[in-house]
A = this chain, B = another copy of it.
């Protein structure tokens, strides 16, 4: 009864609200929907609609309480508890994400990093030793993984995803330039950097024409 389906676009905006409330913590008590609208480049009515999905904490003429919203959105995002992740692929991108300060700041902790290159296995990245990918299945099966970030070359990514899914992973953030097939019940978020660059190239071309 009390469950209201939250549109995906609203979920996608939640981290931006979270980020903003976080930046205002300890600096001020409340913000108005108008200010939030400016920060998110949207309208005040959209802000009120977005936040109404989470209980409508806004008070007419008062605005939103920063600490309350920060806490509540953190709970909704599931980051009120520490989150763990693993990385598969200790190349340049994997190494960058293994030691990404912003991830740590919002409570994401790297548990392990896997690679198939004997030259790389055993080296340390961001305080974590690189494991052989042969140990991936057991690690995930034991529930130690949290969620997984795939930064392998595209041709290896589906095989890695299969191992993760077969052993009960709940979520994957995929940077490999292909669209993964995963089991039902596994959340996947694809970040295709090259695609974003290609789409940007289109928009630049359009701007030149204008």
Contacts and interface: CB of A to CB of B under 8 A. Distances in A.
The main secondary structure of chain A at its interface with chain B is helix
5 contacts: A11-B199, A40-B179, A93-B97, A102-B177, A186-B207
Given A93-B96, A95-B92, A179-B16, A78 B195 contact: no
Contacts of A16: 179, 192, 195
A96 B102 contact: no
Contact of A79 (B83, B193, B198, B206): B198
User: What 10 pairs between A and B have smallest CB-CB spacing?
Assistant: A15-B195, A187-B203, A78-B205, A92-B96, A15-B198, A171-B204, A96-B96, A93-B96, A189-B200, A170-B204
Contacts of A187: 200, 203-204, 206-207
Interface string A6-50: 000001101110110000000000000000000111000000000
A55 interface: no
Given A11-B202, A85-B197, A96-B96, 5 more contacts: A19-B194, A77-B205, A147-B200, A170-B207, A171-B204
A16 B77 CA distance: 29
Interface residues of A, number: 59
B76 A202 contact: yes
B106 A100 contact: no
Interface string A69-99: 0000000111100010100000111011101
Nearest to A176: B102
B171 A203 contact: yes
A103 B197 contact: yes
A198 B16 CA distance: 10
A196 B208 CA distance: 30
